[in-house]
Structure 1
Amino acid sequence: MHEILTTDFMQRALIAALLVGLVAPMVGIFLVQRRLSLIGDGMGHVALAGVAVGLVTGRGPVLTALVAAVVAAVAIELLRARGRTNADVALGVIFYGGIAAGVVIISKAPEGTPANLMSYLFGSILTTRTSDVWIFLALALVIMATVWVLWPRFFAVANDEEYARAVGLPVLPLNIILAVLTATTVVVAMRVVGLLLISALMIVPNAAGQLLARSFTTGLRWAIAVGLASAVGGVFISYPLDTPSGGTIVVLAVLVYIVTAIGTGVARRIRQRRHSIAEGHDHEHGPECGHEAIPHGDHVDYLHGGHRHAAHQGHYDEHGAGSPRTSGQDEEVRA
């Protein structure tokens, strides 16, 4: 542990992982809501073309990747808004065109070796430089500030785009801003998670968060917690195991999701078993059944044989025994 925290390249990698784990779920939750979960993959492929341009021209691959991804993000949203093609077709064109251009261009770069390409595709903690960390920090702050300011508007558009347009929200500009944030997140994560895996860190933590929460805000909090744990934990684990950081982070996130799904499923079954189901009846309770009807919250209980029964999904739940006055919620007895 001490060696990991005192090694320069590991310190840089952990800072980058912290930033990625924080911002990826913040952007990804709106993509999940809009059913655009795979848009991060398309942005990643285009960013690869930007990386290739940076290597060929000798410029910073991070900045050229950012420019390429942002241009692609804006183009996709404009195509969707104008209706000339649907989102799937636009993503497909960007998806395959971007990676093909990246492979062709990077083959002409002085540093364009397969190992170099792999580090961008799947992440490599050894490639995170101090200058990259500062760029990632600046981009992450921009992402967090933008999401914080536009949170209600992003939610409205992601939840119901037609309603948001009807109430006067600028839907197209908001969609473009979200697309640009997605492209920026991809670039922030490319050294740690990799361009092909960043979409997983946007989606999987939010999938786990939805299992644990009943509201949008609480779900995001859980997603950020899972994202941070997966990103930082994955970097920690990848060092002693000598495995790629990007793959390790995503595998850890998927494991967290699986454990969460199993845990919530077991908890749901336990809650269901705690339902005390009443004995079967030869007849169904109702206004004309002859048993006392007792208003109880948002439903009606029927007093029968000293037990209070309430109809629930094809059976009767036991809601207590005794007289009609056993609950503080009971009102007057109806015959």
Structure 2
Amino acid sequence: MIEILVEMFSYPFLVRALAVASVLNVAPLSFAIPVVVAAAFFLLRMNENSLIKGDAAIALVSTGSLSIGVLVMSLTTGMNLDVCNYMFGSILAMTQSDVYLSMVLSALVLLLFILFYHKMFAITFDETFAKATGIRVGFYKMLLAVLTALTITLGMRLMGTLLISSLIVFPALTAMRLCRSFKWVMIHSIFISFICFFLGLVMSYLAATPPGASVVAMNIVMFFIYSLLSFVSKGVKR
């Protein structure tokens, strides 16, 4: 489910939001957040209530969104540099208002996840069982989609929309190489995210490399380290 949500809020939605925001002279990040949240609601409803399911719904909305964004950009001048920064990431592209907004929304995402941790675990682990126990699966799926959308939108300035999915996918995949419980996967994922993000920024500063690519490179290194530790751990147990 997480992989589908990440794919939902990838490049096409953000390009459309950024393009329209630039035309309307609105702060792109402020405009992108409600657009992506609306896309989350629309895709979940489409997937649940129509004959268009899964990848087909994502492809339909994504390609339509991308075409709108490209059309708006082609009719507007002076946008190429800003859109390029969003695509590939640039720490210099972040304004003071972006930083403040990111801090507030990051705290909100963390708070909501802590408050509804058990419910979200239930719907991601076994949706049928969650329904049987009386959990409002539709509501919490929507909440999870919104939190995923906010996380991706907040990280796109630094990571770039083409690499932002790695910010969510890599830490969890890396943690699962060594951890077997959901709780420890979450703890290790947080640790891996912080370490890779910090080392990626340091690498970006020292080597003058794009921050998004540098963070992903650190995640790749960490993935191989955890894979090696997992191999050694299994060998010791034998």
Same fold by TM-score, threshold 0.5 exceeded?
A: yes
What residue is the counterpart of 2:14 in the other structure?
47
In 2, Cα distance between equivalents of 1:219 and 1:110: 46
Instruction: Give the CA deviation at 1:98.
Output: 2.7
What residue is the counterpart of 2:115 in the other structure?
149
Q: 1:184 aligns with which of 132, 138, 150?
A: 150
In 2, Cα distance between equivalents of 1:178 and 1:88: 18
Matched-pair contact (CA < 8 Å) for 2:86–2:161: yes
C-alpha distance after superposition, 1:21-71 (max 9, x if no partner): xxxxxxxxxxxxx3x414323313202211111111111100111111111
In 2, Cα distance between equivalents of 1:64 and 1:238: 28
What does residue range 4-19 of structure 1 map to in structure 2 within 5 Å?
Answer: none
In 1, Cα distance between equivalents of 2:26 and 2:40: 22
**Runs of 4+ off more than 6 Å:** none
What does residue range 11-90 of structure 1 map to in structure 2 within 5 Å?
Answer: 34=1, 36-45=2-11, 46-90=13-57
In 1, Cα distance between equivalents of 2:138 and 2:22: 34
The answer to whether structure 1 residue 258 and structure 2 residue 224 are counterparts is yes
What residue is the counterpart of 2:73 in the other structure?
106
Query: Secondary structure of the equivalent of 1:192?
Result: helix
Matched-pair contact (CA < 8 Å) for 1:123–1:244: yes
In 2, Cα distance between equivalents of 1:261 and 1:231: 19
* Structure ranking higher in helix proportion: 2
Matched-pair contact (CA < 8 Å) for 2:171–2:190: yes
Q: 1:203 aligns with which of 169, 183, 202?
A: 169
Which AA in structure 1 matches 2:94?
T
Matched-pair contact (CA < 8 Å) for 2:171–2:219: yes
Which AA in structure 1 matches 2:64?
G
Which AA in structure 2 matches 1:102?
G
Q: 1:164 aligns with which of 130, 135, 138?
A: 130
Which AA in structure 2 matches 1:116?
D
* Structure ranking higher in strand proportion: 1
What does residue range 235-254 of structure 1 map to in structure 2 within 5 Å?
Answer: 235-254=201-220
TM-score (norm 2): 0.94
Matched-pair contact (CA < 8 Å) for 1:212–1:222: no
Matched-pair contact (CA < 8 Å) for 2:178–2:229: no
In 2, Cα distance between equivalents of 1:234 and 1:200: 13
Residues 158-167 or 258-267, more deviating: 258-267
In 2, Cα distance between equivalents of 1:184 and 1:230: 20
In 2, Cα distance between equivalents of 1:236 and 1:169: 44
Aligned residues with identical type, % of pairs = 26
Instruction: Give the CA deviation at 1:250.
Output: 1.0
Which AA in structure 1 matches 2:98?
D
Instruction: Give the CA deviation at 1:83.
Output: 4.5
In 2, Cα distance between equivalents of 1:176 and 1:125: 30
Query: Secondary structure of the equivalent of 1:191?
Result: helix
In 1, Cα distance between equivalents of 2:214 and 2:61: 27
What does residue range 241-320 of structure 1 map to in structure 2 within 5 Å?
Answer: 241-272=207-238
Give ranges in structure 2 of 5+ residues lacking alignment: none
Query: Secondary structure of the equivalent of 2:97?
Result: helix
Greater C-alpha Rg: 1
In 1, Cα distance between equivalents of 2:131 and 2:50: 16
Instruction: Give the CA deviation at 1:258.
Output: 1.6
Give ranges in structure 1 of 5+ residues lacking alignment: 1-33, 273-335
In 1, Cα distance between equivalents of 2:65 and 2:213: 22
In 1, Cα distance between equivalents of 2:221 and 2:74: 36
